Amino acid sequence: MAKKHLEQFKGQVMKAKGYKVNSHNPNDVKYEVANEQGVPLKKGYNGKLTSEQAGKVGGPIGGNMVKEMVRMAQEQMKRN
């Protein structure tokens, strides 16, 4: 259940950043980010990717998610 909510959150954050997000599979946004970064990410096994390539995909996604979580926490703290 938590994984599903996390993927939905990822989709919301990346959609707000201007990416096309598949509402049925928000995790697919990683392929758009990979394409944008020139990383040959494909469905299935990607064990041949370097850590640098993986970071080019995961960094923007995770970084934007963390920024949004911090913003949300700050907003909640202001209300309390």
Q: What is the reported pLDDT for 80? A: 85
Mean pLDDT, rounded, for 42-62: 96
pLDDT digits (tens, 9 = 90+) for 3-28: 999 999 999 999 999 999 998 999 99
Q: What is the pTM of this model?
A: 0.84
Contact (Cβ atoms closer than 8 angstroms) between residue 30 and residue 10: no
d(CA 26, CA 6): 10
